[in-house]
């Protein structure tokens, strides 16, 4: 079987799965890949604005996703996955400035969407992921999930969730070394991006450090593209620089 020379060469007809395609970065990424001529399968919580429905807060939705995607693939191997879903705030969910603000229900929601959901999803996708050549799995993480870089404190739920995502991907990378040795895994820190997720927290961000979703999507693709032939896991920022674990 011919192997793709590049996952990002439209002539190779690589299918890209974009999880969370209705969010800020996910929507921009979907638009960019589509404009470049790539074939996509997209997901959203509602499903009405994407190809498939996937809700990380619904166990049944996650469990049903693998068979639904397999049906869409129709025997083809999955080679490219972008996980763009995330939760920072919602009704009853706010980043905690102090430990007294930590609430179990909110913490659980943030953990499910940012860490547990993506990892359970990978449990569904592993059997569909290509073994005969290059593949890539990437997820939007955040510098606030870095244990070494935490000097400001606060944001307990979100920090813990992104740190858990990072550790989960670190463990997944060890497993995939044995089963999918050509798979490149990337945790991507996009910087502060002008999305609904960051909107309430942009006041102190300098204009040149607030990125558009289009720029973030472009950087996401570029970071992943640069290392698509480098198996294993890296935690990288928007400029391609490593982020401390």
Residue 2 has pLDDT above 90, yes or no: no
* In contact, 53 and 45? CB cutoff 8 Å: yes
Closest to 52 measured CA to CA, from 61, 60, 77, 120: 61
Per the model's pLDDT, the better-predicted residue between 1 and 137 turns out to be 137
Compute CA 83 distance to the chain's CA centroid, rounded to the nearest angstrom.
Answer: 3
Q: Give yes or no for residue 5 having a pLDDT over 80.
A: no
| pLDDT of 1 | 44
> pLDDT value at position 101?
96
| Strand residue runs (E) in 50-182 | 52-53, 80-83, 135-140
The torsion defined by the Cα of 62, 68, 73 and 78, in degrees rounded to 10, comes to 10
The average pLDDT across 34-57 equals: 93
Q: What is the DSSP letter of 2?
A: P
Which structural domains are found in the chain, ordered by start?
12-237 (3.40.50.720)
Q: Are 155 and 24 in contact (CB under 8 A)?
A: no
pLDDT, tens digit, 9 for 90 and up, residues 150-172? 999 999 999 999 999 999 999 99
Buried b (16+ CB within 10 A) or exposed e, 80-114: bbbbbbbbbbeeebbbbeeeeeeeeebbebbbbbb
Tokens representing 27? Answer: 């929507």
pLDDT of 50 = 93
Residue matched to tokens 């569909």: 128
d(CA 45, CA 90): 15
> pLDDT tens digits for 108-136?
999 999 999 999 999 999 999 999 889 99
- Chain segment 78-108, per-residue pLDDT in tens: 999 999 999 998 888 999 999 999 999 999 9
Query: Could you read off the pLDDT of 188-236 as tens digits, one per residue?
Result: 999 877 676 666 665 666 767 667 889 999 999 999 999 988 999 999 9
Query: Which one-letter DSSP state was computed for residue 78?
Result: B
């Amino acid at each position: 079987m011919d192997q793709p020379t590049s996952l990002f060469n439209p002539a190779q007809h690589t299918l890209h799965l974009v999880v969370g395609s209705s969010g800020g970065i996910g929507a921009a990424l979907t638009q960019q890949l589509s404009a470049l001529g790539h074939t996509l399968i997209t997901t959203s919580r509602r499903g009405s604005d994407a190809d498939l429905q996937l809700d990380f807060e619904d166990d049944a939705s996650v469990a049903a996703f693998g068979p639904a995607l397999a049906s869409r693939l129709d025997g083809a191997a999955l080679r490219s996955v972008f996980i763009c879903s995330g939760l920072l705030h919602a009704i009853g969910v706010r980043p905690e400035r102090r430990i007294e603000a930590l609430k179990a229900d909110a913490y659980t929601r943030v953990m499910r969407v940012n860490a547990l959901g993506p990892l359970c999803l990978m449990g569904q996708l592993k059997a569909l992921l290509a073994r005969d050549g290059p593949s890539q799995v990437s997820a939007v993480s955040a510098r606030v999930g870095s244990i070494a870089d935490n000097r400001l404190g606060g944001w307990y739920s979100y920090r813990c969730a992104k740190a858990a995502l990072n550790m989960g991907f670190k463990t997944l990378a060890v497993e995939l070394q044995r089963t999918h040795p050509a798979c490149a895994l990337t945790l991507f820190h996009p910087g502060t991006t002008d999305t609904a997720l960051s909107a309430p927290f942009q006041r102190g961000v300098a204009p040149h450090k607030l990125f558009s979703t289009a720029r973030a999507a472009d950087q996401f693709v570029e970071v992943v593209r640069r290392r698509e032939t480098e198996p294993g896991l890296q935690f990288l920022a928007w400029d391609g620089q490593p982020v401390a674990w």
